[in-house]
A and B are shown apart, each in its own frame.
Chain A
Amino acid sequence: MACPPPPPQFVLRGAQSAVNTLHFSCSNKADGPPLLFSGSLSGLVHVWNLQTRRVDATLDGHAGQSVYWVKTLGDQHLLLSQGRDLKLCLWDLAEGRNAPVDSLSLDSVGFCKGSVLSEGTQGSWLLAVPGKGMDEVRVLDMPSKTSVCTLKPAAGAKAGMPMCLELWQPACGPCPLLLVGYEDGSLMLWNVAERRALSRLSCHQEPVMSLGFDPRKAKGLSGSSEKALRVWSLDEQQNLKVCRTQELTNPGIADIAIRPDGKIVATAGWDHRIRLFGWKQLKPLAVLDYHSAAVHCVAFSDAGRPSEQLLASGSKDQRISVWSVYNQP
């Protein structure tokens, strides 16, 4: 690399606890300033205003238990947060409100983040969360909270707990699909409507910590506590197969994010570093070394002009670093 990687554009301080998860909400400029949501170990969700770089609001709805997933729904005002208190809260943040409007009890005590698929009709959306049984995944129709199905691997599969989920709507088929990474290191593709597993792929020796999937390229990648990233793809018959393995210097990938424009991928490393890869060939691009503790999460901003695309990472060192990288058109 010709020049050293840049420093973060800025760093957000004040979470006062390890940052577990991040989510950008920048798309509707008219509605307000670009926001970044963060969930922390202390159970708070912080709403960061990216214009002033300060906390706009702090949401306290998980009784001090670690929040490990936040996500906005459609517009900026609806926010989902999932915490270790076995609750999934729905917040309506319009007009500065900061109390949960609804919540859903969860049954799993794991760390598996949920996944959401907005269907766009009458504001209903699908939610996948770990289920009651050890290896189950529940899919619910929200906001009615009616259960759509429970997906359980075959009895002899010994997949272990689900570790990460990715729900998506394929362009060709009508029914939503769900990717699940399991404790035993395998990935399974489920057809939600038919409630059956379409394909299974053993790709890691260790539990799958995170996965990212790009429906347009029908390609995804996953990381575990090993020293390798695995890239796999989905063929027309909906079979998963490994296409590439990227070795890493240090083990442990906590989170993976693919930029919305499908050009680069970022990983959050236990080695305090963020790694950037080109998504096409998984070419290593940069190692961003800023944090002084394990990086827990990475996120890309959701839209806007190419030059305004941001990358954020949250770390155990209680800081959120925001980067402006590889965004010259």
Chain B
Amino acid sequence: MAVFDSPQEAFGILRPICVQLTKTQTVENVESLQSKLHVVSDSALQDLQEYILFPLRFTLKTPGTKRESLVQSVVECITFVLSTTCIKKEDLLQELFSELCLCLSSPNSQKPAPVSEELKLAVVQGLHTLMHSAYGDIILSLYQPCTLPHLGFAISLLLTLVEQEKSKQIKTSALKCLQVLLLQCDCQDHPKLLDDIETKKLGDLFASFLPGISTTLTRIITGDFKQGHVIIISALKIFYKTIAFIMADEQLARIPKDKEKFSVEHRVAELMVHRDANWVKNTGDKLAALIEKIVEFISVHPHWKARMELIELVQDLLLKCRQSLLKSVGHLLKVLVGLVNDENLDVQNRCNNVLKNFADQRIVVESRVLTDILSENLHSLATALPRLMSSQDDQGKYSTLILLLGYLKLLGPKVNFILHSVAHLHRLSKALIQVLELDVTDVKIVEERRQGPDGLAESSSSLSEPPFHKSKSQRKYFRFFTDERIFLLLRQICQMLGYYGDLYLLVDHFMELYNESVIYRKQAAMILNELIAGASGIEVEVLHETHSRASTEELKEIITSILEEYISQKNWYLVTSNEAEGNREELTMKHSDLQAITSGVHTCHLVPLPSSSELNLTVCSMNSNIWQICIQLEGIGCFAHALGIEFRVLLMSALYPVLEKAGDKTLLISQVATSTMIDICHACAYDCPRDLINHNADYLVNEISLNLHQMALFPHTPIVLEIMFQNSDATLLPLVDDVIQDVLLSLDQFHDERAASFLSVLHTVLAALARWFPEAKGDKQLQEQEFRKEKYGLHQDSATLGKGFAFTTSPEEIERFLLDYLRNKDVADGNVSDSDKEVVPCFPEEQPLTPEAEMNDVCPDVEATLPVQIQIAKNVMERCIHLLSDKDLKTRLKVLDVLELCVTVLQSHENQLLPMVHRAWLPLVHRLTNDDPLAVLRAFKVLCTLGNKCGDFLRNRFSKDILPKLAGSLVTQAPVSARAGPVYSHTLAFKLQLAVLQGLGSLCNKLDLGGGDLNKVADACLIYLSAKQPMKLQEAARSVFLHLMKVDPDLTWFILNELHCPLLYEPPHPSLHPVSLSGMAKSRTEYTDNVLLLLAELQG
């Protein structure tokens, strides 16, 4: 919108107002001048610059006091003019400079005049604009020795403003102005190209101001946090730019020894500084104090931008003034070291970049001086570390450790200088060991037991536990800190040591500590783990990429030796619970585990521990042992990661111990071991723990088998075996066979002491076999059913007939029924004549035989062709028969369980099964008839299974040996349960009654019991149909009758009707006797309800 382009026109416009202003100096006139200026183009203004400036300068120079508002508007107007024009004359520049400065000077004091803030601001901005409007080299005319006083005045003026003014705006402007004044402006308008000589001259000049500038700025920087980070940042910038300019090594190198002579007056010459070595040293020392102060203050400044600027400071100073500021280098590096792990990501990155930059330029490593300083810092830090770790709070520890980490990162491979000094290594390790001490007072760790099935495959996440697979390691609690970040730092520190340090030296050292005392052991193990993790270079942030790390072979060697130590007898088998190994307590625990498998219930089961102080001590040591094992387990996981697929060879020795711990009773240990297995899977490229175990079963079996030969030394072997079986499949059968031989051998040898643990192994084995070979079961059952259908078709006929009887009765049907009945009765009595043969086929000939059965029939000597699993089951069953009458109840219970599984596995091979059952029968009868109720209960379960598998075989034996006793006990117990209260249902007697009633029905069905036996059963169960009996027993009794209906509906109908008959039966013909049943016409009794229910079932 410049209207007046030509100077002439502009002059025409401006002249009157300039004249006016010269005459009367008022604010209004200044303002009208300024408003006119707006319509003049820049080029015209440039031409008229001096003309316009004249009245304004005149106004300022007029002696006498002036109104502040006038001065202010004049200054603003000058600023405006300068902002669009440039100054081409040196003297004009100098004059304007001093005139502007004078506006703020008070005649008598050093302080700026007490004028309004607006004026101050205007002047500062004016100065700023002035500096920018100087054309080309003109500006340098301000920086002559002769102008030194002016310059000094301006600088001190600005510094004072920054320091003392309240207004943020003034402060910032003053700082900006100062920056320009010191020729460190970062805007683009300046001709940068100062040549070396000019630079040197300027440096000499500014050196005079250095003390003032640096101290004042330091005061400002380390002032109140509240003054805002913007001011601090600009102050910092000026600080380091100035210093970097004056103290630049490059410049100082070229300073001549002797002071130059300047043609200036003496007073000024005195002000001049000669930057000789002496001066540099003194200044450097003084600056060091200031820098230290700043560094300390700003490195913890809450605003990240301030910290960021600090990094710039360090970078600039380190790049330019390494030599001159030798004393500060340590402090400066400390900043980087500390900020490398800053909580702000940008700061961290920037710091990393700077560090990398240094590393790349080999500034740290190559330059001896810096390395020396760093090592010295690290030395002193290492020396102080134990003290700091014990005295500082979490925050203090955090920053100390951050420093330590930073030094390690920065020193890189040179860290070995420290490590090779025995004293320092000792200090360092002492500090680490001390701070890593775990808190082992938590009783819960000891108490929490593993429950339920081993959840290797299924990730068992109970409520109290976060899913632990996700987190890298189990949360640990430390005695001397609670902040998780500190632990993270410590791990990083150890990793860094492992990465850069001499691994052999470190491992040796910490291994020594590990072996030295149980107090150090856990910490040393933790450190060793991290050292290895670091040495592998996985997930380690590094600054120095290229250096000779331990090769995989070396690493493997080291890991092998640590592993050996970890899993050695004395470090691996530690007391972690009060339960003595192999005692009966363990067995019950085991047992509840097994029940949990079947019920799928995860319950938390705490073993109460007496909390006397003496016991507490042992709780602590047990807790400590648990942690040690966990740490070592984690270590194995670490090693696996470090070696990757190479770790597979080490599985030979490592897998067994890990598996052993996966089966540990202590919850924490088993969890950690499980996650270790998962780690191993990841590292060695196995899909899942099952895969891992399957692929390495040979290693496991080797170890297991060897250990079984020395049971006394390795009481945990059965656990491993158990876990192996739980996690493997039928492909392992040959190996299983091999190891079973060992188990049986050891069982035969140690059946007194170790029967319990072996039995649980056998249980697992057979459960696994039953799981692996289920197909045999299906075949057999199908065959069985067919067979039954053929054989007992008669009964079913009669059953349908019986049903028909109630509704439609043709004489022919009755006749046929009677004939059948008679023939059937004959058969039952054993009077089978030849003519009956086709009616009762002994074997279904049309039924195609399975090849297996055929083979069994053909060759009596089937030993050689037996499948492995059958052979195993047979062998195991043999042992069970012997152990069935063991004097210990729990063993007997266990044996019964195993026996049941044996029967299940053997069911497809009747020729093997029946002889074994025959042999097992007698002891089993003893269990059923005169043993503890618990055993009876279990034995009855076995009996039911047996009934399922070999009914015919058992029929006579059952009715002879067992039924009378069973029925008798039911009858005698009935009045007890009828009278009992609600608590009764929790007693063993009730459970026994219930189990017998529940099982009896199907047993009768499977065994196909005859009339007399059925009567016995029915008699015993009838009383339980009473409404006085507990509900559950009634239900169970009803189920017995439901089964009886299937076996013999007529008999059942009759028995029920004898008890209660709801209907009257009219004879179809008067010649027949009237039907009389004892239950007829009875009023309602306690049995009525159940009988009616059952009859309805029978009819329907």
Contact = CB atoms under 8 A, between A and B. Distances in A.
Given A53-B652, A53-B698, A292-B741, A11 B734 contact: no
Interface string B698-731: 1101100110011000000000000000000000
Interface in A24-61: 51-54
Interface of B: 649, 652, 698-699, 701-702, 705-706, 709-710, 734-735, 738, 741, 745
Contacts of B745: 292
Nearest to B653: A10
8 cross-chain pairs, A with B, having the tightest CB-CB distances, nearest first: A7-B706, A10-B702, A11-B702, A13-B738, A7-B709, A13-B698, A11-B705, A52-B649
Contacts of A170: none
Contacts of B701: 13
A325 B698 CA distance: 23
B698 A54 contact: yes
A14 interface: yes
A13 B706 contact: no
A53 B734 contact: no
Nearest to A55: B698
Please classify how large the interface on chain A is, using the bins under 10, 10 to 19, 20 to 34, 35 or more: 10 to 19
A11 B698 CA distance: 9
A319 B652 CA distance: 18
Nearest to B651: A52
**Among A7, A8, A13, A318, which residue has the most Cβ atoms of chain B within 10 A?**
A13
5 contacts: A13-B701, A13-B735, A16-B734, A53-B698, A53-B702
A277 interface: no
Contacts of A16: 734
A283 B738 CA distance: 34
Contacts of A319: 738
Interface in A229-252: none
Given A53-B652, A53-B698, A8 B706 contact: yes
Given A7-B709, A292-B741, A13 B649 contact: no
A290 to B, nearest CB: 7
Nearest to B652: A53
Contacts of A8: 706
B272 to A, nearest CB: 77
A290 B702 contact: no
Contacts of A318: 738
A7 B735 contact: no
Interface in A1-29: 7-8, 10-11, 13-14, 16
A11 B710 CA distance: 15
A7 B698 CA distance: 17
Interface of A: 7-8, 10-11, 13-14, 16, 51-54, 290, 292, 318-319
Contacts of A51: 649
Contacts of A14: 698, 734
Contacts of A54: 698
Contacts of B738: 13, 318-319
Nearest to A52: B649
Nearest to A14: B698
B710 A7 contact: yes
Nearest to A13: B738
A184 B699 CA distance: 45
Contacts of B699: 53
B782 to A, nearest CB: 33
B702 A13 contact: yes
Given A7-B706, A11-B706, A14-B698, 6 more contacts: A8-B706, A16-B734, A52-B649, A53-B698, A292-B745, A318-B738
A220 to B, nearest CB: 34
A290 B735 contact: no
A82 B701 CA distance: 31
A10 B700 CA distance: 11
B932 to A, nearest CB: 37
A16 B737 CA distance: 11
A170 to B, nearest CB: 42
A222 B734 CA distance: 36
Contacts of A53: 652, 698-699, 702
Contacts of B709: 7, 290
Nearest to A9: B706
A14 B701 CA distance: 11
A98 to B, nearest CB: 21
A190 B7 CA distance: 134
A70 to B, nearest CB: 22
A18 to B, nearest CB: 14
A48 to B, nearest CB: 11
A175 B963 CA distance: 87
Nearest to A319: B738
Nearest to B699: A53
Nearest to B697: A13
Contacts of B741: 292
B445 to A, nearest CB: 34
A65 to B, nearest CB: 19
A318 B705 CA distance: 14
Nearest to A16: B734
A318 B701 CA distance: 14
A8 B701 CA distance: 13
A320 B660 CA distance: 25
Nearest to B741: A292
A53 B648 CA distance: 12
Contacts of A7: 706, 709-710
A299 B649 CA distance: 25
**Among A11, A290, A292, A319, which residue has the most Cβ atoms of chain B within 10 A?**
A11
A30 to B, nearest CB: 15
Contacts of B710: 7
**Among B649, B701, B705, B709, which residue has the most Cβ atoms of chain A within 10 A?**
B705
A16 B709 CA distance: 21
Nearest to A322: B702
Nearest to A7: B706
A122 to B, nearest CB: 38
B1080 to A, nearest CB: 73
Contacts of B706: 7-8, 10-11
A135 B910 CA distance: 53
A51 B745 CA distance: 29
A77 to B, nearest CB: 23
Contacts of B734: 14, 16
B1025 to A, nearest CB: 58
A87 to B, nearest CB: 27
Nearest to B696: A54
A216 to B, nearest CB: 35
B711 to A, nearest CB: 12
A11 B705 CA distance: 9
Contacts of B649: 51-52
Contacts of B698: 13-14, 53-54
Contacts of B652: 10, 52-53
A13 B697 CA distance: 11
A47 to B, nearest CB: 15
A11 to B, nearest CB: 5
B763 to A, nearest CB: 24
Contacts of B705: 11
A51 B710 CA distance: 25
Contacts of A13: 698, 701-702, 735, 738
A4 B735 CA distance: 28
A278 B1064 CA distance: 101
B826 to A, nearest CB: 57
B554 to A, nearest CB: 18
Nearest to B710: A7
B706 to A, nearest CB: 5
A53 B734 CA distance: 17
A22 to B, nearest CB: 17
Contacts of A290: 709
A8 B745 CA distance: 17
Nearest to B707: A7
Nearest to B701: A13
Contacts of A11: 702, 705-706
A270 B634 CA distance: 47
A6 to B, nearest CB: 10
